Structure 1
């Protein structure tokens, strides 16, 4: 509001003029303003009381404000005052809106901070639980000598030169053939009867996630890439991770039992030996390690390949190991001696080998290649006896059925193919969704169910090849799957760092 004096007829105050702005004020008001601010209220230039000029008029002259000289002037003054009020209200609304935006931003930041604190609190709690879970059971009887041996055995053997081949001796061949004869005889006795206590189809369909463990492997290099279950104690699980270690986990106790450290790269293949005291692991560091689970020591480092190892498979005798590598060779090794017995490649088809598994009888085995071909080999003759073309893309997984007749394979073409080994033909192809990735295949011990792990986890019945149940609980790619005894439960691992257990109860 202007401080310009609207003089009345009585002239209650002396009018003065500011020399810096030329405006007329009531002296009382302008003096008070100068004392508070020391400036002219119109243009903000410094002003003091001594600079004010009083307006002196003859007594007969009564000066009047210009705005009071006519009705139109009075109306204009009122209009100006209204305009000033409207502008002032506009500025106030603008300042209110800005204050609201600032308050909204501050409240959003506060809410975000609360959520971050909540998430960090949850992660700290999970880390503490994982730390408690990761504490392995220790053996107080481990001596300094054992510790010294462990330090030696855990050294880097990836640069060792390949030892010369020992060869498959007649004694070894006799042992392999004897075991195959026993297994074939036992399989014929079992015939087509269903094992007592085997989970039925309805039980499989009712399976759901009953446990999920995420604290087995390191969170910094997340991902479990391999899985196996102890054949004689299905409560014990063996996992290999991107963190270069293998873990023995007790699912009943929900606790890590043993931690196996020694590989210099991720552990891509693991085997839990039936004797329950031995584990076998393989890695792209080109080494195969045989472990004593009682003291977590490496008993042997088998140097059978010059390139990354892609798969390992245990012979039915429990004494020999099959391995494949990107160096285009498969190798047959003695676990007890820790030596390679033979190493064989296929000059007619020089491609990296991606997967391998022994036939249940142990005299033949299969290997997958990067050129989409499944190969069947005769171990005694060390020769390729059959090939299964039909896939496109690298072979990613394979599994022999317990009955010895069926072979399941998967590749990058999003299909699972079933092969009849007696007729050497593909009798069933399971077409999965476009882009579906298969990382592991596993038949249960009866050959009744086939589990598939990859984009999700699913179970098929091997009679009609129906999909009985699909689990989509993993947030990452599933990398391993195993059935428990009589298919009462299923275990899977994933790149999301979790191990999940599925059961109907």
Structure 2
């Protein structure tokens, strides 16, 4: 009986047997298989070349195949081989032509990309050179006929760090002209509020609309990813499509939600930006930081137009007066300050001297008529101040932990406050008492409170974002879309949308889909 190779199924010229499986193989075939796999091809067990056993057989002469025994058969074999070579050559020419076309296209794309990059680099360089030549005050003069340029002020810590920063400005005093301006504005706003309070604003979002709000858009590219976190948010009252955010990356960013374009990146603070305000009538932005400065920015030039140095410690809160010309600020140095945004001068600076231990201030907010304002302290007290007399006229105790946010309702009657105690308290400014306490979840953190412009809704931002119906104080909707603590919340025009910022580096917009 003839031996057959287990791999080729032909009679082997040099037969060997595998002691692992007992099968016969052609020696050159099994050696190649062992070299590639190191195992017997029949059962997969480990096998090496030196384990193979030679089989001694008499030499056999293989008969020629019938196809090679006649001239016609040989000619046919040659013709078949020639045809195969020609077909293979044609395939290779096709592949070569395709490769040349792909290479030519790639080279064209590379050349076009290089041209675009070179052009953009040239434009960016030209824009930077143009910005470098602009005067810092250029951004604030527009729309401000009463502007008086202040003396040049180098950026805080620009030369040798915070220890060599300029000292806070001295008080300039509140003149009779300033006080009269405040009184006139308050009288005008009070009259308008009485008229407006009798009717619901046309187009105001209904409670059913609020309940159906869902996330419409989210933007995570406004601030640096290397230092994540957006700490503050404000919406322009005149055009609620425009917002400004302050971040951990020391920058403030102006963004248009309708065009989804960044309008300006405001760089200059040496520490994180904890508070921002968008001027309601002018293209100005205000920002505050623990670097002890308040900066006034021109949006069109993205340049700092004024630096207000009112405090010796971190600035913890800012609020713009209804006239649009004055700024209130609070600080960890226990003082609140009233400053002129046009000149950068501090008009008044006051600390509560009624007790021996004066706590640091954590936030500040003007009342809608601008004659009184509230401040929060680190010892859980909310204080109401008379701006004209510069005295503390009322205190609201009841929280535990430092005050994190305060917000006045546009109707002028209600004040909402929050602290590190997982509650939101509502105060009646006419009766000077707490009439409602909203108990939130255990360990809930509140970072921002905001009434809509009609005073109908109250938004709360912190562990999540919530909206309450005022008077009934009913919870309408809750958003858990942020993956980290929400730090700011603002209503759009007629509460038709809600904007929120978060430590997850995102700004989200909620509304009807």
Q: 1:223 to 1:143 in 2, by over 3 A?
A: closer
Mapped partners of 1:308, 1:174: distance in 2: 31
Q: CA deviation at 1:277?
A: 1.1
**Residue of structure 2 equivalent to 1:297:** 303
For structure 2, the residue ranges without an aligned partner over 5 or more in a row are 1-18, 20-44, 47-119, 139-151
Instruction: Assess, with a 3 A threshold, how the Cα gap between structure 1 residues 426 and 378 changes in structure 2: closer, same or farther.
Output: same
| Distance of 2:455 and 2:127 partners within structure 1 | 39
**Count of matched residue pairs:** 374
Q: Structure 1: where are the runs of 5+ without partners?
A: 1-28, 30-91, 94-131
Shift of residue 149, structure 1, vs aligned partner: 7.5
Q: Does 1:501 align with 2:509?
A: yes
Q: Which residue of 2 aligns with 1:374?
A: 382
* Residue pair 1:153, 1:299 contacting (<8 A) in 2 also: no
One of 265, 268, 282 as aligned partner of 1:276: 282
Moved over 2 A (4+): 138-145, 147-150, 152-158
8 Å CA contact 1:154–1:262 kept in 2: the answer is no
Q: Deviations over 1:265-312 (max 9, x none)?
A: 000000000123111000000000001111011111000000000000
* Aligned positions of 1:23-422 closer than 5 A: 142=130, 145-146=133-134, 155-156=155-156, 159-349=165-355, 350-422=358-430
Q: Which residue of 2 aligns with 1:458?
A: 466
Alignment match of 2:434 (pick from 426, 438, 449): 426
Closer, same or farther: CA 219–146 of 1 in aligned 2, 3 Å: same
SS at match of 1:146: coil
The SS at the match of 2:194 is helix
Q: How far did residue 190 of structure 1 move?
A: 1.5
* 2-structure distance, mates of 1:144, 1:165: 32
Please tell me the root mean square deviation across aligned C-alpha atoms, in Å.
2.3
In structure 2, distance between residues paired with 1:387 and 1:347: 14
Aligned equivalents of 2:320 and 2:137: distance in 1? 26
Alpha-carbon distance between aligned partners in 2 of 1:501 and 1:274, rounded to the nearest angstrom: 20
1:469 Cα shift? 0.2
Aligned in 2, Cα 1:141/1:184: closer, same or farther, shift over 3 Å?
Answer: farther
TM-score by length of 2: 0.70
Deviation at 1:191, TM superposition (A): 2.5
Q: Distance in 1 between matches of 2:369 and 2:508?
A: 31
- CA distance 1:331–1:235, shift in 2 (3 Å): same
Corresponding position: 1:441 with 2:449: yes
2:492 to 462, 484, 489: 484
Question: Per-residue deviation at 1:359?
Answer: 0.2
Output one character per residue of 1:446-480: Cα deviation in whole Å (capped at 9) or x when no partner. 00000000000000000210110000000000000
1:153–1:298 contact (8 Å) kept in structure 2: no
The CA distance in 2 between the partners of 1:174 and 1:197, in whole Å, is 35
Counterpart Cα distance in 1 of 2:136 and 2:346: 26
Change (3 A) 1:351 1:140: closer
Q: Deviations over 1:84-110 (max 9, x none)?
A: xxxxxxxx89xxxxxxxxxxxxxxxxx
Deviations 1:182-236 (A, max 9, x none): 0001111123311000000000000000101000000000000000001100110
The residue number in structure 2 matching 1:8 is: none
Of 492-501 and 186-195, deviating more is 186-195
Asked if 1 retains the 8 angstrom alpha-carbon contact of 2:413 and 2:428, the reply is yes
The residue number in structure 2 matching 1:52 is: none
Give TM-score scaled by structure 1 length.
0.71
Tell me the equivalent position of 1:21: none
How many Å separate the matches in 1 of 2:136 and 2:366?
A: 36
Instruction: State the shift of 1:148 in Å.
Output: 7.9
Are the aligned partners of 1:142 and 1:295 in contact in 2 as well (CA < 8 Å)?
Answer: no
Q: Helix, strand or coil for the counterpart of 1:202?
A: helix
